[in-house]
């Protein structure tokens, strides 16, 4: 009997410790696509086009590969490190207490639109549904007041929209299509706000037409110079120009809503246009893949095309595969997110945002 009392008291003291922790708890909730996916797609019924849990993915840091679309760590991993948090777990890997530091819901291939790669990915609205399950668990475990505190102190970071434009439906005028994408992103942000989220970080889209995959496609369509596909980059610019307006409107409508907008387009473009300035030797060709610019999405030989080549030194490359950057680039991006100045992130960088009272 005495032994079971000890178990009860140790469980109670653990719960008390957790509650004290919650009051000053930092947490990071992550939403979006393959820039942020830590391996959620390993757990869903999909194809290898939307997975990356095999070698050489992960080899710069993880052994075995985790499903990150990178040679090593990705942006949320570095942000967690700078915020002195553990690695933010994939939604499908959260244990009993592991969600108090945040959860990563991102899914490679996901878009803001449900139609984007429907049936193969966890779209943004479904990520919101999973987030609601987590908030319900938090409320059940810690009560409404404590969980509200954790959720309002937490930071919510998004990389979303890329795949909607790679999967652009040309039957729509460009601006109308972008409005639909932005509209869906807005409704998910509002859904998180309704659950208690207050601090939101949004990455703008990068120059989508300048990935090795886009250059390879352009090359195969007869543009042998391998230039960027302007139409894709134009779509990204239309999307990006709508973001500040959307965030300002939310700030005006929703009490306590705070945001930070990161200019990923500028940061990526600077490195694509001038790789040597940032420590890279090439920005046109991927480290891993096949075909022109190694821009065919075959890294690791588990997708439709089996042949692939792997570079000798991944640190020389901006892109790891046809559409994803290397760990070195993600680290530079994360550093700018964390303590960058207003030319790349505003009105707050993440270092100040984490400490901002909700």
Catalytic residues: 34, 321, 324
Give the three-class secondary structure for 288: strand
Nearest to 71 by CA among 275, 315, 332: 315
What is the per-residue burial (b if ≥16 Cβ within 10 Å, else e) of 174-197?
beebbbebbebbbebbbbbbebbb
What is the spatial distance between Cα 294 and Cα 316, in angstroms, rounded to a whole number?
Answer: 14
Nearest to 243 by CA among 261, 258, 256: 261
What is the spatial distance between Cα 329 and Cα 347, in angstroms, rounded to a whole number?
Answer: 23
Dihedral of the alpha carbons of 265, 270, 271, 274, in degrees to the nearest 10: 150
In angstroms, what CA-CA distances link 211 with 107, 238, 317, 327, 356? 19, 18, 12, 16, 36
Q: Are 227 and 292 in contact (CB under 8 A)?
A: no
3-state SS of 147-196?
A: HHHHHHHCEEEEECCHHHHHCCCCCCCHHHHHHHHHHHHHHHHHHHHHHC
What distance lies between CA 207 and its chain's CA centroid?
16
Residues 6+ apart with CB under 8 A from 34: 52, 69, 106, 107, 108, 109, 162, 323, 324
Length of the chain (residues): 358
């Amino acid at each position: 009997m005495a032994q079971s009392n000890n178990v009860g008291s140790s469980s109670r003291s653990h719960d008390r410790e957790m509650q004290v922790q919650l009051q000053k708890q930092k947490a990071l909730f992550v939403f979006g696509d393959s820039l942020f996916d830590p391996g959620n797609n390993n757990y869903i019924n999909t194809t290898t086009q939307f997975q990356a849990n095999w070698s050489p993915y992960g080899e710069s840091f993880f052994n075995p590969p985790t499903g990150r679309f990178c040679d090593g760590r990705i942006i949320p991993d570095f942000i967690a490190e700078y915020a002195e948090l553990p690695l933010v777990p994939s939604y499908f890997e959260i244990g009993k207490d592991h969600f108090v530091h945040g959860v990563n819901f991102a899914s490679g291939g996901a878009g803001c639109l449900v139609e984007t790669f429907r049936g193969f990915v966890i779209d943004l609205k479904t990520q919101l549904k999973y987030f609601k399950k987590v908030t319900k668990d938090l409320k059940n475990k810690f009560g409404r007041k404590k969980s509200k505190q954790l959720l309002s102190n937490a930071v919510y970071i998004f990389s979303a929209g890329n795949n909607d434009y790679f999967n652009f439906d040309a039957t729509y005028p460009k601006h109308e299509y972008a409005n639909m994408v932005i509209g869906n992103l807005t409704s998910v942000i509002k859904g998180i706000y309704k659950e208690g989220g207050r601090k939101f970080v949004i990455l703008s889209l990068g120059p989508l037409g300048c990935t090795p995959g886009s250059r390879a496609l352009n090359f195969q369509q007869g543009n042998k110079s391998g230039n960027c596909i302007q139409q894709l980059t134009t779509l990204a610019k239309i999307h990006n120009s709508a973001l500040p307006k959307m965030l300002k409107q939310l700030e005006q409508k929703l009490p306590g809503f705070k945001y930070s907008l990161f200019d990923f387009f500028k940061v990526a473009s600077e490195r694509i246009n001038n790789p040597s300035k940032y420590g890279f030797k090439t920005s046109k060709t991927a480290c891993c893949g096949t075909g022109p610019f190694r821009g065919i999405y075959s890294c690791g030989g588990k997708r439709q095309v089996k042949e692939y080549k792997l570079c000798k030194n991944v640190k020389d490359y901006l892109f790891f595969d046809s559409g994803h950057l290397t760990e070195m680039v993600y680290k530079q991006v994360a550093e700018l997110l964390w303590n960058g100045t207003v030319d790349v992130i505003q009105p707050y960088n993440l270092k100040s945002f984490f400490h901002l009272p909700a």
